[in-house]
Every structure is written in structure tokens, then in C-alpha cells.
């Protein structure tokens, strides 16, 4: 599927983009991978990691998803797009809402228009658990982005463009996540670890798992799906104890827009959510679910089943929680990986 094809990653200099390229090039032989992002310094650093003489198929393009003309130029002769560019910090969104709207919502619209104009075959956008029943501005912009991408399948006309979503939880060890924060406190010999709420839970996925899941969804997608992986949950106080059992836990209060628990499959979508062995698929509505199930089953050769009405997939009620020992094993493995 990917041999001699061109793939573009927006926001490609982030944790996901760096790891994606490493894994993707080990498995496939694309003609070209375009890293599209707006930070020239991060592109410089990434070019040191993937030098042109060793990785001639990687190209770096400066540009912003707010710039439609630049996106159209970048997507010429591109077969697949992974849309990872976004503003993501929850507290920053509460204080800078219009910047998040411009990047996360208007940027999504630009990606779609550019992809249709240049006849990109498949576009998959990375979403977040915060887009499910959002209570913060960041989640609301990502929900709007998700809706725009799903609806884009209705406006492609005779062109064969397809748009889908991947939604997953917190990526362990990624920039801005809690594991590096706790590790900084431990390295600086602090005698406490800050936790915003004693009942706080989060979904947990490694960077490698997120990359593998996105690649698999790019293969399976037929357009209009939201793919949700089955992943474990972790209680943040358990994580703190796993990382430093002697440190005190200091409850510092919930940040603006922060949830106590995360949600990936809301009850409101249970009527059009299908469960597979390792993931869920949320379709746009119940009206087209039967035809979409048949279509996706052709791609993946796996039979899914409808979830029960009022089913929800929450980090609070998840059946799979990581223990202290499991967290320690996972962190040990992650810390041995190269910096993302």
C-alpha cells in the first residue's frame, strides 16, 4: 500500500512525527515523506536525526495549517496525509481561545480543502479523548475538527478522497505529559509530586502503540470512521507511587478546563459504535452503519459487533488499569528508548 507512495505529516516535528518516521521507514519503502510544520528550529533538529544523505526520501517544508495556499502546494502529488498539527495545551486554550480555533478548526478545514484540490487519497487526523463530550476549549476545537473531517466525506463529489479520525488518550512520555513532569521533580530531588486531583485517571498509550495504530487505521479506513484503541487506564496517584514511592503526593487542584476522568466513546454515540477485538469504531450515524460495517470488514477481515446502548468507554470505568509494577516496567522500557 505504501510502497513508492508519498506521505505528508502535518506537525511532523512533534513526538508522534519523529517516532512515526522511525517506525514507518523500517516497515515500508515510500517514495517520499514530507514533514510539514511551522517551527524551523525543530525542523533543523529533526534533520540532524534524519540527515539527507541517509534519508533522502524525507523532505522538510515550512508552513502553517492556517495557510491554505501553502498546504495546496505542499500536497501536490501526495497520496496520504496524517494530520497531527494542533495546539494542545488545555490551560493555554482557556486563555487563548481564538488561536486554538484558528489552528485546530480553520486548520482542519484547510487540510480538507487542500486534500480535495490535490486529490489526496486518504487523510487521517489525530484527535484526542478530550474531544468526546468536551468541557474545555481545546476539546471543543478538536470535536469541531473531528466533525469537519467526518463531514468532508460528503463533499468530495466524484473524487476518491477519504477522511477518517484516530482518537486516543495520553501518550506516555510525550512532551507536556505527566511522566516527564514527575521525572523532573524526581531528578531535582523534590520530596513531593504534584497531582491535580486524588481521583484523577487517564487513558494510557505508548508512542509506539499510537504510531502502529495510526498505520493500521490508514490501511483499514474507508472514510467517515473514528477509530478508538482499547488501551489501559492509570490512576495518577498510582503513577506517582510507581515513580517515587517515598515522595508525598501534593494535591494542587484541577487546572482550568481539566477533566477528572477521560472519555473516548461517549454514551451518545453507542448506537453507532462497533467493537472489534482491539479497538472501537464510531460511525457518523446509525443510518449508514450496516453498509459501513460491511465495507470496513472487507478491509480488515474481522467481524465486529454493536456495543450495548448507553455503552461508554471511560478511563474511570475501564476494565484494564495498570498496576504499580506494570507502570514501572513500562516506564523502564520507555526510558531506554531514544528521546522523541
Predicted local confidence at residue 289, as pLDDT: 66
Task: Quote the CA–CA distance of 305 and 311 in Å, as a whole number.
Answer: 13
Q: Which three cell numbers stand for residue 278?
A: 482491539
Q: How far apart are CA 91 and CA 181, in angstroms?
A: 16
Query: Distance (Å, rounded) from C-alpha 15 to C-alpha 80?
Result: 19
Give the Cα separation of 92 and 294 in Å (integer). Answer: 42
Which long-range CB contacts under 8 A does 210-216 form with residues at least 24 apart? Answer: 210/16, 210/168, 210/171, 211/16, 211/19, 211/20, 211/23, 211/24, 212/23, 213/166, 213/168, 213/279, 214/20, 214/82, 214/124, 214/126, 214/166, 215/23, 215/24, 215/27
Rounded to 5 degrees, φ, ψ at 36 are -110, 120
Q: Whats the size of the chain, residue-wise?
A: 340
The grid coordinates listed for 320 are 484494564
- What pLDDT does residue 142 have? 97
Element containing residue 114 per DSSP (H, E): helix 107-118
pTM (2 decimals)? Answer: 0.91
Query: What's the pLDDT at 255?
Result: 81
Cell numbers that stand for 245 in this block: 514511592
Beta-carbon-side half-sphere exposure of residue 137 (alpha carbons within 13 Å):
19
Closest CA to 312 of 271, 276, 260: 271
What is residue 338's predicted lDDT score, i.e. its pLDDT?
44
Q: What pLDDT is recorded for position 292?
A: 66
CA–CA distance, 2 with 332 (Å, rounded to integer): 33
With left for phi above 0 and alpha for psi between -120 and 50, is residue 316 left, alpha or beta? Answer: alpha
Report the C-alpha gap between 31 and 329 in whole angstroms.
37
| Domain chopping of the chain, boundaries | 6-168+209-229+264-313
Which of 130, 220, 235, 292 is labelled catalytic? 130
Does domain 6-168+209-229+264-313 bear CATH number 3.40.718.10?
Answer: no
**For this structure, is 130 an active site residue?**
yes
Neighbours of 157 (CB within 10 A): 8
| Residue numbers of the chain with a pLDDT score lower than 70 | 173, 175-176, 285-300, 334-340
Amino acid at each position: 500500500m505504501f510502497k513508492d507512495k508519498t506521505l505528508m505529516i502535518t506537525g511532523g516535528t512533534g513526538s508522534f512525527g519523529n517516532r512515526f518516521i522511525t517506525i514507518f521507514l523500517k516497515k515500508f519503502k515510500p517514495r517520499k515523506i514530507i514533514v510539514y510544520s511551522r517551527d524551523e528550529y525543530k525542523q533543523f533538529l529533526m534533520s540532524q536525526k534524519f540527515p539527507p544523505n541517509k534519508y533522502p526520501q524525507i523532505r522538510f517544508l515550512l508552513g502553517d495549517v492556517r495557510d491554505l495556499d501553502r498546504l495546496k502546494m505542499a500536497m501536490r502529488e501526495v497520496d496520504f496525509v496524517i494530520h497531527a498539527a494542533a495546539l494542545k495545551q488545555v490551560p493555554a486554550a482557556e486563555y487563548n481561545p481564538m488561536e486554538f480555533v484558528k489552528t485546530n478548526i480553520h486548520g482542519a478545514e484547510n487540510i480538507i480543502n487542500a486534500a480535495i484540490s490535490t486529490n489526496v487519497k486518504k487523510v487521517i487526523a489525530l484527535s484526542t479523548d478530550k474531544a468526546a463530550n468536551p468541557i474545555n476549549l481545546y476539546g471543543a476545537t478538536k470535536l469541531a475538527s473531528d466533525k469537519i473531517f467526518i463531514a468532508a466525506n460528503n463533499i468530495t463529489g466524484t473524487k476518491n478522497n477519504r477522511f477518517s479520525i484516530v482518537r486516543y488518550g495520553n501518550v506516555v512520555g510525550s512532551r507536556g505529559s505527566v511522566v516527564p513532569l514527575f521525572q523532573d521533580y524526581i531528578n531535582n530531588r523534590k520530596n513531593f509530586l504534584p497531582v491535580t486531583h486524588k481521583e484523577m485517571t487517564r487513558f494510557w498509550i505508548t508512542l509506539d502503540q499510537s504510531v502502529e495504530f495510526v498505520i493500521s487505521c490508514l490501511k483499514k479506513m474507508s472514510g467517515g470512521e473514528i477509530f478508538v484503541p482499547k488501551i489501559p487506564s492509570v490512576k495518577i496517584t498510582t503513577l506517582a507511587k510507581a515513580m517515587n514511592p517515598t515522595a508525598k503526593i501534593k494535591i494542587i487542584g484541577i487546572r482550568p478546563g481539566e477533566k477528572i476522568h477521560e472519555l473516548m466513546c461517549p454514551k451518545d454515540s453507542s448506537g453507532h459504535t462497533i467493537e472489534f477485538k482491539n479497538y472501537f469504531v464510531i460511525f457518523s450515524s446509525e443510518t449508514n452503519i450496516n453498509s459501513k460495517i460491511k465495507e470496513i470488514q472487507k478491509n480488515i477481515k474481522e467481524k465486529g459487533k454493536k456495543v450495548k446502548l448507553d455503552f461508554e468507554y471511560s478511563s474511570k470505568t475501564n476494565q484494564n488499569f495498570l498496576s504499580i509494577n506494570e507502570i514501572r516496567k513500562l516506564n523502564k522500557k520507555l526510558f531506554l528508548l531514544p528521546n522523541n
